[in-house]
Copies of this chain bind each other. A is one copy, B any other.
């Protein structure tokens, strides 16, 4: 399958790496809204201006749209779904129905398949929630994130006066994980589920006590959590916090039996050294399924819930049944 990347940030570079690990995928090009002459790909794949997409759309089986969910994807994905089959990683949960409707209309009109909200949450975590709910209909689910870097929280800290740089880690509390694993179906407050660690490089002469106070009391972002703030140097930030690890847990616990006497726990856990590269791995597999669905004549907007697992794999049905079932 011939893939292209639209947007060459962390996820775009991750997709480029993923292509190198999937022999059935070929990268035909990277499209950028920056000056294409200034963008150089790691693999040597050609770089095109976003405006050149129309001229190349016929050569692309699936375009992987690597933009931000806040402002890029709500505009980009419907527009691009008019030109190509596309996959995106739209992750603003509350706006998924609206995004789905916009992309579905564009893809149906133009005869394409467009898969939205790929990645791990939404994505693999959504699948874990769905599978858990259908097997154990009388139960409860829990999602925990971390240990990992939250870009949104890191950005929020960087906007505080006196902060030169910041990195925020979300950390699930082991007491909460153990309580969930026990099958007791606890009710957990926000504070009981996660804590937050913030590493800050302060500007020269900044009031560190004021920065710390501004962080821990920040509404929505930090006020409902136990947060620790550690001031470090720019060198320490670069040395110890350059990576983007993440992960988390989805649990479903439920009861079965005539008298609901049996308890069951399903746990799906991710521990990721690189959030964008893992996300890219999911997007690549979804692109394979989109290519197959499009070639079978399917049309419109899809999510991970609509993808038969066999369509994600380069192996045939026979091979999958013989070696993986």
Which A residues contact B (CB, under 8 angstroms)? 14, 17-18, 21-22, 42, 93, 96-97, 100, 117, 122, 124, 126-127, 129-131, 133-138, 181, 183, 243, 256-258, 261-274, 277-278, 280-282, 285, 288, 303-310, 312-314, 317-318, 320-322, 324-325
User: What CA separation (Å) do A197 and B121 show in the bound complex?
Assistant: 39
Q: Tell whether, in the assembled complex, residue A96 and residue B277 are in contact, meaning their CB atoms are under 8 Å apart.
A: no
Q: How far is the CB of A261 from chain B (nearest CB, A)?
A: 8
Q: In the assembly, how many copies of this chain are there?
A: 2
Instruction: Judge whether A274 and B258 touch: CB under 8 Å.
Output: no
User: A181 CA to B269 CA in the complex, in Å?
Assistant: 10
- A135-B281, A303-B321 known; 18 new pairs, CB 8 Å cut-off, are A17-B257, A93-B325, A126-B325, A127-B131, A134-B312, A134-B313, A137-B281, A181-B271, A243-B262, A257-B277, A262-B274, A265-B269, A266-B268, A267-B267, A267-B269, A305-B308, A305-B309, A306-B309
A-B residue pairs, 3 tightest by C-beta = A262-B273, A134-B285, A262-B274
A97 touches B264 (CB 8 A): no
Query: Contact between A130 and B42 (Cβ–Cβ < 8 Å)?
Result: no
For A138, the chain B residues whose CB sits under 8 A away are 21
A270 to B114, CA, bound (A): 33
Whether A309 touches B304, Cβ cut-off 8 Å, given contacts A131-B127, A266-B270, is yes
Residues from chain B with Cβ under 8 Å of A264 in the complex: 270-274, 277-278
Q: Report the nearest B residue to A137, measured CB to CB.
A: B21
Which residue on chain B has the smallest CB distance to residue A244?
B262
